[in-house]
Chains A and B, each alone.
Chain A
Amino acid sequence: MLKDVVKGILAIGVVITLLLSSCSKNDREVQIVALPVIAGDFERAQPGRVFQFPQDHGAHDTFQSEWWYYTGNVAAETGEHFGYQLTFFRRALLPQNAFQERQSAWSTNQAYLAHFALSDVAAGKYVFAERLQRGAAGIAGAVGEPAFAVWLDHWSVTQTGDHLYRLDAAFADQRIVLDLTEQKSPVLQGKDGYSQKGEDVGNASYYYSQTRLATSGSIYMRNRRYDVTGFSWMDHEFSTSALSAEQVGWDWFALQLDDGSELMVYVIRRQDGSQDVFSAGSVVDPEGSAKTLTYRDFQIVSKSTWHSPHSGAVYPIGWEISVPQEDLSLMVQALLADQELNVSFVYWEGAVRGQGVRQGRPVTGYGYVEMTGYAHSMQGQF
């Protein structure tokens, strides 16, 4: 749910830089004076929604922002470890009720953005790409029925059967084709999928995760094919909300542990350096039942940092996470320091490894961490 804030902002950033292809910081080349936007109403998240799958896997155009977020750690038989990220963002340009249906299939009030990143741990190499499209004419979109699919150009996730999904994306000479098998039912985050993030009731999102997707498939890179297996994580969230003025960024962690459990926690960082009370998380046991964590239930301490030569930002890349009520303590370390996406928005999103102790027994696992607001504040991006 914190992630929703992240992505909401990202999606806005996307649209803001709609016409931007190169990133030179020149003065304005073009100025546009334009008509003001028509006012309209977006739907807001309210408590008590009943989720229906696979319909709810699809797009919810009446909400302003939405995203589908796939990350995973996979390894080849020969030992090479890879992390991947494939994320689709949807952003409504206009509320549905302010948009007039038109003749052309290209007409739309929806914009889609996608990020694809691949971490080649053995080679110490990290690549990423961004694509932006209109959610129309079949170029980009998301549907829940008859089967789930979300796509933008040739990047896609498609449901291929019950609890089966295929993920396909390529950039330059890297490509991933992965089959994902859902091993646990979707975990509804927050209160039954209603994830509050501010004082107001409407300032919330709908948020669920697929926390353990068994993954197998191929990664093509360096003119080679690696047959890989591992686990993926999926977040789907939709909302109409904004980050408040004091919230400058967030750190989000999701780990799949080898005892069959998953841990997700996030911290909203406030301007004064403190952690926001809406920071939260969840633990999912091997059977798939989830327990919500509030900001009091966990603690994250940064242990080491990395200075990005690209953006100049300083990111933590090693952490100690403790969840006392689970008797869980984990040392989490980035598999690569440089997993910073320098796209229309700068953030760090990377594969990590966790190692620690739960109830006296050693536990390890892989996961993903997202950090925003380090290169520049998220404020003013609205």
Chain B
Amino acid sequence: MKRVNYLPLVLWRVSWRFLLRHRWQSGLMILGIAVGVAVVVAIDLANESAWRAFALSKEAVLGKATHQIVGSGDEGLNETVYVMLRRQGVIGKMAPVVREYVSSPQLGNRPMELLGIDPFVDGEFRSILGNTNRVPVDQLVRFLTQQGAVLISDELAAENGLDVGDVIEVDIGGYQKYAVIAGLISPQDAIWRRVLQGMIIADISTAQELTGKVGRLDRVDLIIGENDDFLLKRVSAALPPGLRLIKAETGSDTVAQMTAAFRLNLTALSMLALLVGMFLIFNTMTFSVVRRRALFGMLRCQGVTQREIYLMVLAEAFVVGSLGSLLGVGLGVLLGRQTVAMVSQTITDLYYTLTVQAVDVPVESLIKGGVMGIVATILTALIPAVEAASSPAQISLARSVLESKARRVVTWSAAAGVLLILAGYLIFQLPLTDLYSGFGGTFAVVVGFALLSPLAMVIASKVLSPLMGYLLGLTGRMAPRNLVNALSRTAVAVAALMLAVAVAIGMGLMIQSFRSSVVVWLNETLNGDIYISAPTMNATMPAFPVDRRVIARLRSVDGVRDVYLLRTIQVESPSGSIRVNASSNPNLGEERLFLFKRHQDSKMVWQEMQKGAVLVSEPLARRLDVIRADGEIIVKSPNGEIRLPVEGVMYDYTSSEGSIWMSRDFYQRVWGDDTVTAIDIRLEQANQADQKIDEIRSEIGSIQKLVIRSNQGLREDVLEVFDRTFAITGALRLLATIVAFIGVLNSLLLLQIEKQRELGILRALGLTTRQMWRLVMAETGLMGLIAGLLAIPTGAVLTLILIYVINRRSFGWTLQVYMTPEAFLVGLGIALVAALLAGIYPASKYSRMAASEAVRYE
């Protein structure tokens, strides 16, 4: 054997000429890969950026802290604890922190973090004000001494047209405060420059005054050596009850866990676009190989080895894959601008407040996307490459041989499809709860259905042939036969289109089911007429207290029947932080949708709750496995760990983290905290809500600027967030459909180009332009129809998988399935329209072509 480890130049040229001569196909193939890669890159960018922005700012703000002293929930601690620790010299490296989310109209009204630090000790932790140089004293005197003095970065100031000495309004939980820019910081450190885009720095005294936390700290940062157990114990021992010493990175871990499912879902969705793209590549590569069987045969006669032909095809795939991936990465970056904003918004809506948006593009995302595109292309090209290499060393081999082979494959493909679907089903039956196996099963089922397409086409052709013949005459009978005769290409195109449509149907129905479930839940749960809370930029921000005077005034408003108070707070538990809703509403037992309830009588439920029993939201109950009569939730209270019996488990879609509801009386008894973060008002006459809102607003407006919403208003806000959350899903779905459309267009083009000669003969035999159009459109329409029909069961199965497996495993929610015929009809419509649109170009091209010209081809 010759020592040929590389591809001879001549073969490269053969490939190159082929790709060049078939610019259209090559172009579409590249475009298909590009869109697939672009989607993967865009999602990865969004995931990475949102995550990195958070991690970086978290890291920067934590600085060198290894541990933190925090309260039992998110209520912070008394500042005297810090002073006591300092005076006792328990630990040398300590820094107090006061922080709050704020917004300022002069700073673009977006969420910003107000970070209160003690510059006297903060240098050991953070380099906000630099730690390696001398800062002239006069620059910090005003920062330390003047009321409301804050520092912002020079960039932030410049962006907002602000300068030293300017006064800015700072909105904090419904209170309007004023701050004066006492200085501008220009950090050389790139991360801090970024972090400071979303941050206002104040001295701890100023931060306390602005946030109304005089006398309190949110946390104390500590530096404790890695193995200094002695010091750890000393600090723990010195803490008063109710305070906790935690590792500094815990927060970031929780967030990583919290968003992992969300990010994985997005990634899986982006992979789908690539998967559809792979069908397209497979289709095109197979076609190009089939077309060149004669050429390959000739080359083999001239001594080219099988291995060289194999490599040649793979090399083509590599070139096409590289070009497509390169283009895709570029497109992905452009697309990323949108996705980053969308994903950041969703993360802010659902998980945590992002004050920083990463602006740079993580190179890893680009490399990852590019490599995936190339690898996917080469993998997909493996079968065609083997096919090409197996070309016998003789000139010409009728394609009919291949087609007859393809028809044999129909059976095998269908069998493999059934097996894959079964495999997927079995995976779901396994007692697994992880998402990876969930997605694995989903892909198996989806690909399984795709493998059924050849069989579906054969059957559909048989069944539809008489009908088509009846409707369209000769061309109608020809079309199904043509499709089946070219099964090697048509089936793949149909599979790709079917896949995209099925995903569109599945995702659509899942979202629809989700939304309907949320609406039902809202109807059941939102019983208040008016809801009042302090403004936060989003639901994930810690709730800000409602002024006590507001509550007193509300009770005196005419027409108010009941005022229920709610305190929402994060409380620590052995299994992580838990959101606690302490409510004074005694009707919780009937105003919720229950999955499980210990007592049916709602009075009994409240009685139990007064004694410490809690209602648990479904996602949390599932995670902690407490959906049973003896279920218990353990939380850390100021007096140590307490066990709370589970009185009921209820459907709840507010967060995937979940929450517990307890009676406010019980909460106050144990936590000694009478803060109110939200108010639920019941009116004597519900239809007076709007009028009462105006009254309440004028009554309490001077005390605190609160968000006052009617039942309807709150409901709309919830659904708005919901819709925003799924906006990106919709976008991805659309992109997958676009890839599929390109696939169909491509394969139809190929099909028609290939049949040019055949069509020329038909034209010569007297086929009219009209008939020509009809034939082409019948063929493509039929493909669309078959894809659309097959997409219906596939989409339905996918919906169920998404709801019962993926969603449940990702977020822990039970959704009621709402399948409407519209969704399936729309899917079918999309398939038909896509297919027909793809037929227009070839149909118009060939109907314009003179018969002689068409025949002359080749």
Contact of A28 with B133 at beta-carbon distance under 8 Å, contacts A18-B120, A93-B144, A106-B118 already known: yes
* Residue in B83, B142, B186 whose beta carbon sits within 8 Å of that of A31 in the complex: B186
A34 within 8 A of B: yes
B206 in complex: contacting residue of A18, A27, A38, A104, CB < 8 Å: A104
Partner of A32, one of B123, B124, B139, B165: B139
Complex contacts, A170 vs chain B, CB 8 Å: 89
Are A102 and B188 CB-contacts (below 8 A) given A19-B122, A28-B130, A93-B145? Answer: no
User: Given the interface contacts A105-B215, A154-B86, does A32 sit within 8 Å of B129 by beta carbon?
Assistant: yes
Supposing A30-B187, A35-B165 touch, asked if A102 and B89 sit within 8 A by C-beta, the answer is no
A104 CB contacts on chain B under 8 angstroms = 204-206, 208-209, 214
Report which residue of B79, B80, B89, B215 has the largest number of chain A beta carbons within 10 angstroms of its beta carbon. B89
Besides A31-B185, A107-B145, A134-B118, 6 other A-B contacts (C-beta < 8 A): A20-B134, A22-B131, A27-B188, A93-B145, A107-B206, A136-B205
Identity of the chain B residue whose Cβ is nearest the Cβ of A154 in the assembled complex: B89
Contacts of A20 in B (CB 8 A): 123, 131-135
**Contact B184–A26 (Cβ < 8 Å):** no
Instruction: Please give, as numbers and ranges, the residues of chain B lying within 8 Å of A154 by CB-CB distance.
Output: 86-89
Proximity string of chain B (178-206) to chain A, C-beta cutoff 8 Å, 1 when within and 0 when not: 00101111111100000000000001111
Chain A residues positioned under 8 Å from B133 (CB to CB): 20, 26-30
Q: Which of A12, A134, A156 has the most CB of B within 10 A?
A: A134
Q: Find chain B residues with CB under 8 A from A123 CB.
A: none
| Residues on A with beta carbons closer than 8 Å to the beta carbon of B180 | 35
Chain A positions within 8 Å of B127 at CB level = 29-30
**Does chain B have a CB within 8 A of A103?**
yes
- Nearest opposing residue in chain B for A100, CB measure: B147
Nearest residue (CB) in A for B127 is A29
Give 4 nearest A-B pairs by CB, closest first: A154-B89, A30-B130, A34-B183, A21-B123
- B543 proximal to A (CB < 8 A): no
User: Does chain A have a CB within 8 A of B720?
Assistant: no
Q: Which residues of B contact A108 (CB under 8 A)?
A: 144-145, 205
Given A37-B142, A111-B120, A137-B79, A18–B135 Cβ distance below 8 Å?
yes
A102 touches B209 (CB 8 A): yes
Which residue numbers of B lie inside 8 Å of A, CB to CB? 79-80, 83, 86-89, 118-124, 127-147, 149, 151, 154, 164-165, 180, 182-189, 203-206, 208-209, 214-215
Which of A30, A34, A139 touches B142 (beta carbons < 8 Å)?
A: A34
Q: Does A41 contact B (CB under 8 A)?
A: no
Residues in B with CB closer than 8 Å to A208 are none
Chain A residue numbers with a CB within 8 Å of B188 are: 27-30
Cβ proximity bits A129-160 to B, threshold 8 Å, 1 near / 0 not: 00011101111000000000001011110000
Quick one: CB contact mask for A100-123 with B, threshold 8 Å, 1 for yes?
101111111101000000000000
Contacts of A106 in B (CB 8 A): 79, 118, 203-205, 208
A16 within 8 A of partner (CB): yes
A242: min CB distance to chain B, Å: 14
**Does chain B have a CB within 8 A of A274?**
no
Give every chain B residue within 8 A of A29 (Cβ-Cβ). 127, 130-133, 187-189
Give chain A nearest CB distance to B75 CB in angstroms. Answer: 18
Judge whether A30 and B129 touch: CB under 8 Å: yes
Please, which residues of chain A bring their CB within 8 A of the CB of B203? 106-107
A93-B131 contact in complex given A18-B120, A32-B151, A132-B120, C-beta closer than 8 Å: no
8 Å CB contact of B132 from A22, A38, A155: A22
| Chain A contact patch, size range | 35 or more
B185: which A residues are within 8 A, CB to CB? 30-32
**Interface of chain A, helix or strand or loop or mixed?**
loop
Contact of A33 among B79, B145, B184, B189 (CB under 8 A): B184
Question: Which residues does chain A contribute within 8 Å of B208, judged by CB atoms?
Answer: 103-104, 106
Task: Out of A18, A19, A111, A138, name the residue touching B87 (CB < 8 Å).
Answer: A138
**Which residue of B has the minimal Cβ distance to A106?**
B205
Determine whether the beta carbon of B187 is less than 8 Å from that of A103.
no
Within the assembled complex, what's the spacing in Å between the Cα atoms of A290 and B147? Answer: 47
Closest to A170 in B: B89
Bound together, the chains give a CA A121 to CA B561 distance in angstroms of 81
- Name the B residues within 8 Å of A34 (CB-CB): 138-140, 142-143, 164, 182-184
Is there contact, CB below 8 Å, between A37 and B129?
no
Other-chain contact of A19, B89, B138, B140 (Cβ < 8 Å) = B140
Partner of A24, one of B132, B145, B164: B132
Q: Cα distance A26–B214 when bound, in Å?
A: 37
Q: How far is the CB of A382 from chain B (nearest CB, A)?
A: 10
Chain A residues positioned under 8 Å from B139 (CB to CB): 32-34
Most buried by B among A20, A21, A36, A134: A21
Asked whether, in the complex, the Cβ of A35 is within 8 Å of the Cβ of B182, the reply is: yes
Minimal beta-carbon separation of B234 from chain A (angstroms): 13
| Most chain B C-beta atoms within 10 Å of own C-beta, residue among A24, A25, A30, A103 | A30
Min CB gap B376→A, angstroms: 45
Q: Is A375 an interface residue (CB 8 A)?
A: no
Most buried by A among B118, B124, B130: B130
Shortest A45–chain B CB gap in Å is 22
A-B contact pairs, 13 of them (CB 8 A): A26-B133, A33-B139, A34-B142, A34-B184, A37-B142, A106-B79, A106-B203, A132-B121, A136-B205, A137-B83, A138-B87, A139-B86, A154-B87
> Is B145 a contact of A21 with CB atoms below 8 Å?
no
A213 at the interface (CB under 8 A from B): no
Residues of A within 8 A of B121 (CB): 132-133
A219 CA to B142 CA, complexed, in Å: 41
Interface contact B120-A134, CB-CB below 8 Å? yes
Residues from chain A with Cβ under 8 Å of B186 in the complex:
30-33
Smallest CB-CB separation from A12: which chain B residue? B137
Closest Cβ of chain A to B195, distance in Å, is 13
Q: Shortest distance in angstroms between B487's beta carbon and chain A's nearest beta carbon?
A: 69
B144, A134: Cβ atoms closer than 8 Å: yes
A132 to B536, CA, bound (A): 37
Known: A29-B187, A30-B188, A106-B203. A16 touches B141 (CB 8 A): no
Q: Would A35 and B183 be within 8 Å (CB), given that A104-B205, A106-B204, A154-B87 are in contact?
A: yes
B209 touching A103, Cβ below 8 Å: yes
Q: Determine the residue in chain B with the shortest Cβ distance to A28.
A: B133
Kindly name the residue among B119, B138, B189 whose own CB sees the greatest number of chain A CB atoms within 10 A.
B138
Q: Which A residues are in CB contact (< 8 Å) with B141?
A: 37, 93-94
Q: Which residues of chain B are near A37, meaning CB under 8 Å? A: 138, 141-142
Looking at A15, A31, A32, A154, the one whose CB has the most chain B CB atoms below 10 A away is A32
B182 to chain A: which residues have CB within 8 Å?
Answer: 34-35
CA distance A170 to B139 in the complex (A): 32
Q: Decide yes or no: A103 and B214 within 8 Å by CB, A29-B133, A37-B142 being known contacts.
A: yes
Which of the listed residues A93, A100, A155 has the most CB atoms from chain B within 10 Å of its own CB? A93
Question: Which residues of B are found within 8 Å of A12, using beta-carbon distances?
Answer: 137
CA distance A18 to B117 in the complex (A): 13
A33→B164 contact, CB < 8 A: yes
Query: CA–CA, A269 to B133, complex, Å?
Result: 29
Q: Is A97 an interface residue (CB 8 A)?
A: no
Q: Could you tell me the distance between the alpha carbons of A132 and B124 in the complex, rounded to whole angstroms?
A: 12
Q: Is A306 an interface residue (CB 8 A)?
A: no
Is A19 a contact of B145 with CB atoms below 8 Å? no
* A17 interfacial by beta-carbon distance below 8 Å: yes
Write out the residue numbers on chain A whose beta carbons fall within 8 Å of the beta carbon of B146: 35, 38, 100
Known interface pairs A19-B140, A103-B214. Does A30 touch B135 (Cβ–Cβ under 8 Å)? yes
Give A330 to B660 CA distance when docked, in angstroms: 80
A220 contacts the other chain (CB 8 A):
no
- The reply to whether the CB of A51 lies closer than 8 angstroms to some CB of chain B is no
The 0/1 profile, CB within 8 Å of B marked 1, for residues 298-317 of chain A is 00000000000000000000
State whether B136 touches A16 (Cβ < 8 A): yes
CA distance in complex: A130, B137 (Å): 18
A18–B133 Cα distance when bound, in Å, is 10
User: Residues of A contacting B132 with CB < 8 Å?
Assistant: 20, 22, 24-26, 29
Q: List residues of chain B with CB within 8 A of the CB of A53.
A: none
CA distance A315 to B87 in the complex (A): 36
